[in-house]
């Protein structure tokens, strides 16, 4: 609460303060006040959306990416996949061309963006985003590889799907979804023995 | 829900490798978790019928294997159409 008062004070001096708006928005998110949080987070990216201030865009690049990511999360939680996709895309694009090591926000934004693309029927774009992450060296992320596996499986590329699920399990061997999905894929390939072992392992993960 | 799906898949696979007892056990556990699940109930009825037919000699193991294989071929043919 003290922090909220502190940032509110900054905003009374400069209502367009990027960091203060972002921090107030993030605190309101934690307090489970999504509509109010959305208002402040959107204020925090106003300067990014103004093309007249390229130096501001560059200076606050990672801050803007985080704000876009939080806006997308709120929209996603609200069931608005279209809006979530728009903002995950903005967060993703802020860091896509950067040479810096990818931040955890970037990985999460990209992973969720891929899911939104898939939900909205843009499968090739979804695979493309996952592959950008792989190109950036994010090869050990369990969710990313599970998602890639699912996408390949839906495309009928079962061997590539198996590769994705196996990589996902290398990153986290207690990932229920990757275990389950690998079981389904192996069952489709008539490898019943291995599939049975995986479903039993998946049940074990749920019981933990 | 996830547990029931796992158990359903297990039951189907165990049936495919002719481990009927394990399959029945998986279905029983699934039914304990979700007593109103129609898929589990249907599969259990089917399993019971198959087990009875096999036990009474009305259906041989060979006939049963052929039955599964022809169902698979039919599924693949349908897929191609």
CATH of A53-136, one of 2.60.120.10, 1.10.760.10, 1.25.40.10, 3.30.230.70: 1.25.40.10
CA distance A114 to chain B (A): 23
CATH topology of domain A139-208: 1.25.40
Q: How much of chain B exceeds pLDDT 90, in percent?
A: 48
> Which domain does B54 fall in, by range?
2-80
Of B3, B12, B16, nearest to A203 by CB-CB distance is B3
With 60 as the cut, is the pLDDT of residue B80 above it?
Answer: no
How is chain A split into domains, by residue range?
1-44, 53-136, 139-208
Q: Distance from first CA to last CA of chain B, Å, rounded? A: 33
Per-residue model confidence as pLDDT tens digits over B34-69: 999 999 999 999 888 988 998 899 888 888 888 777
Q: Of A180, A192, A193, which is closest to B6 when you measure between CB atoms?
A: A180
pLDDT in tens, chain A (208 residues): 777 888 888 888 888 888 899 999 999 999 999 999 999 999 999 888 775 667 777 778 888 899 999 999 999 999 999 999 999 999 999 887 777 777 788 888 998 999 999 899 998 899 889 888 877 776 567 888 898 899 899 889 999 999 999 989 998 889 999 999 999 999 999 999 999 999 999 999 998 8
Q: What is the pTM of this model?
A: 0.70
Contact A174, A205 (CB under 8 A): yes
Q: Indicate the number of domains in chain B.
A: 1
d(CA B34, CA A41): 43
| Distance of alpha carbon B23 from alpha carbon B18, whole angstroms | 9
Res B76: pLDDT:
54
Chain B residue closest to A179 (CA)? B6
For chain B, the residues whose C-beta falls within 8 A of a C-beta of chain A are 2-3, 5-7, 9-10, 12-14, 16-17
* In contact, A41 and A22? CB cutoff 8 Å: yes
SS3 A32: coil
Contact between chains at B10 and A199 (C-beta distance less than 8 A)? yes
Question: Is the distance from CB of A163 to CB of A149 less than 8 angstroms?
Answer: yes
Q: Given an 8 Å threshold on Cβ–Cβ distance, is B10 in contact with A176?
A: no
Pick A202's closest partner by Cβ from B6, B12, B14: B6
Q: What percent of chain B has pLDDT over 70?
A: 85
Find, in chain A, the residue whose alpha carbon is nearest to that of B1: A206
Domains A53-136 and A139-208 equal at CATH topology level: yes
Distance CA B46, CA A154 (A): 29
User: How far lies B42's CA from each of A11, A188, B47, in Å?
Assistant: 63, 22, 9
Q: Which of A192, A193, A207, A208 is most worth mutating to test chain B (most B CB atoms within 10 A of its CB)?
A: A192
């Amino acid at each position: 609460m003290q922090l909220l008062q502190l940032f509110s004070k900054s905003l009374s001096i400069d209502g367009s303060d990027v960091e203060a708006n972002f921090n107030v928005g993030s605190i309101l998110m934690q307090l489970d006040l999504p509509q109010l949080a959305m208002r402040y987070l959107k204020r925090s990216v106003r300067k990014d959306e103004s093309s007249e201030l390229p130096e501001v865009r560059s200076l606050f690049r990672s801050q803007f990416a985080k704000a876009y990511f939080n806006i997308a999360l709120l929209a996603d939680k609200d069931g608005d996949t279209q809006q979530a996709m728009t903002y995950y895309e903005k967060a993703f694009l802020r860091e896509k061309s950067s040479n810096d090591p990818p931040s955890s926000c970037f990985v999460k934004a990209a992973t969720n963006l891929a899911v939104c693309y898939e939900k909205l029927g843009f499968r090739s774009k979804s695979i493309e985003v996952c592959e950008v992450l792989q190109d950036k060296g994010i090869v050990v992320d369990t969710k990313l590889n599970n998602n890639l596996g699912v996408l390949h499986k839906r495309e009928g590329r079962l061997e590539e799907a198996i590769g994705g699920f196996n990589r996902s399990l290398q990153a986290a061997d207690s990932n229920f979804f990757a275990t389950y999905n690998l079981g389904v894929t192996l069952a489709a390939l008539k490898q019943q023995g291995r599939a049975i072992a995986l479903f039993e392992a998946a049940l074990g993960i749920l019981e933990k | 829900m996830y547990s029931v799906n796992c158990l359903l898949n297990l039951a189907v696979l165990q049936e495919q490798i002719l481990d009927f007892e394990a399959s029945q056990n998986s279905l029983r556990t699934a039914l304990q978790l979700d007593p109103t699940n129609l898929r589990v109930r249907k599969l259990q009825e089917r399993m019971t019928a198959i087990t009875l037919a096999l036990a009474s000699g009305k259906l041989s193991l060979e006939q049963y294997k052929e039955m599964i294989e022809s169902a698979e071929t039919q599924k693949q043919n349908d897929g191609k159409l």
